[in-house]
Structure 1
């Protein structure tokens, strides 16, 4: 399969996952290129497995020879790999692996989320995805050679989102002062202040993410209650915003920020 055809087939799926979950599209495409040899590997041909994920998949499994590393030493072995019905299943499984990690460490690959491609390439390797010590540099080289980082850029942040985030930050600061005035118990006061400070950090991180990624979908069903509560609390004026903005509002809602006493 030609390189442009391969990238063109995977890019829309990778970009959609990036918008929803924060997995850099460039990383997803580069891993698929490296692990599947542009879709020409025996594993991809036999099992639609683009990412070399081991175990049993929706269509069963296949046993394939593979190369592993112990430190700098290479050795050949045979392993069981997941089999899929199509490439879309393979990409979806790759996304689940990054989001859910493993039973012993669910956050194993969370270092890639909402990061630039260089940080993500190193984080996926440190999480244990591959044993090859040159794995991060191989991914970075592929990304830069084929300009895959372009798929990580989804336009500029809208001014209205920045204004809303600034308003939320001001509201958090107001609530901090209110908690300080109303709470006499020192232990409870420290706990609430810490919680509010975490909200400021969350919003700052979200703003940085919005500056890299931006999309403006319709309001998801799960985001409607948080937005209604925020409007009722006078924090925002309308529901319009980006997907990342809806996620942030949902987090604040679940933390009880809009139910705080005024």
Structure 2
């Protein structure tokens, strides 16, 4: 999956979380891109952890080596990270983390302000963390997603006359977004699963 594909995968989920709890979509996308190396980090491939959140998650935990900034230098240290069953679960947990009091200044502000606030609150030890996030926002035009309802219209997806899910429509690209699981199940799929290693959605119909 290239960077454009990664953003297309993450953006609808980030916008939905922004509408749910006020975390700027641009921050969610930028953090996911930075922390997961655009979905290709070992932690993301192994545990669907897009944000480098430590601890025990819904699917347990995995121990990985991570880079921390300490005493003026970058060092490698082992740490236990949360494991998730899907990217959707990881993004939701990220939002819930940012709803904690220490991150209150992140909510309902523009992307750059949120980037500075999340860094100041100690999300990461990297002193250049905010700058890296803002650079990603600027380079990939992520600010457009902070206007969720203005830039991406809500649409209703109907299959055989039956509404399956509300989605989002990007008027600039003419692309509609709807969660693949709901779409697959509406078409009678037995299962719809995300394969983090190959970055594919597997739909089983037989």
TM-score by length of 2: 0.71
For residues 55 and 20 of structure 2, the distance between their equivalents in structure 1, rounded to whole angstroms, comes to 26
Greater share of residues in strand: 2
For residues 77 and 214 of structure 1, the distance between their equivalents in structure 2, rounded to whole angstroms, comes to 41
What's 1:3 paired with?
A: 3
What's 1:27 paired with?
A: 27
Q: Does the 8 A contact of 1:24 with 1:115 survive in 2? A: yes
- Is 1:131 aligned to residue 125 of structure 2? yes
What's 1:79 paired with?
A: 79
Offset of 1:123 from its aligned partner? 0.4
Offset of 1:124 from its aligned partner? 0.4
For residues 15 and 21 of structure 2, the distance between their equivalents in structure 1, rounded to whole angstroms, comes to 10
For structure 2, list consecutive stretches of 5 or more residues without a partner in the other structure. 155-206
For residues 62 and 124 of structure 1, the distance between their equivalents in structure 2, rounded to whole angstroms, comes to 24
Q: Does the 8 A contact of 1:71 with 1:133 survive in 2? A: no
Q: Does the 8 A contact of 1:72 with 1:133 survive in 2? A: no
Matches within 5 A, 1:75-154: 75-99=75-99, 101=100, 107-154=101-148
Structure of higher RCO (CA pairs closer than 8 Å, 6+ residues apart): 2
SS of structure 2 residue aligned to 1:85: coil
For structure 1, list consecutive stretches of 5 or more residues without a partner in the other structure. 102-106, 157-212, 217-262
Question: CA offsets, 1:149-175, max 9 Å, x none?
Answer: 00011466xxxxxxxxxxxxxxxxxxx
Q: How many residues align?
A: 155
Greater share of residues in helix: 1
Residues 59, 70 of structure 1: alpha-carbon distance in 2 compared, 3 angstrom cutoff: same
For residues 107 and 153 of structure 2, the distance between their equivalents in structure 1, rounded to whole angstroms, comes to 17
Matches within 5 A, 1:179-258: none
Residues 83, 137 of structure 1: alpha-carbon distance in 2 compared, 3 angstrom cutoff: same
Question: CA offsets, 1:209-245, max 9 Å, x none?
Answer: xxxx9999xxxxxxxxxxxxxxxxxxxxxxxxxxxxx
Offset of 1:14 from its aligned partner? 0.4
TM-score by length of 1: 0.56
For residues 214 and 74 of structure 1, the distance between their equivalents in structure 2, rounded to whole angstroms, comes to 40
SS of structure 1 residue aligned to 2:102: coil
For residues 114 and 124 of structure 1, the distance between their equivalents in structure 2, rounded to whole angstroms, comes to 13
What's 1:70 paired with?
A: 70
For residues 92 and 54 of structure 1, the distance between their equivalents in structure 2, rounded to whole angstroms, comes to 15
Residues 215, 4 of structure 1: alpha-carbon distance in 2 compared, 3 angstrom cutoff: closer
SS of structure 2 residue aligned to 1:108: helix
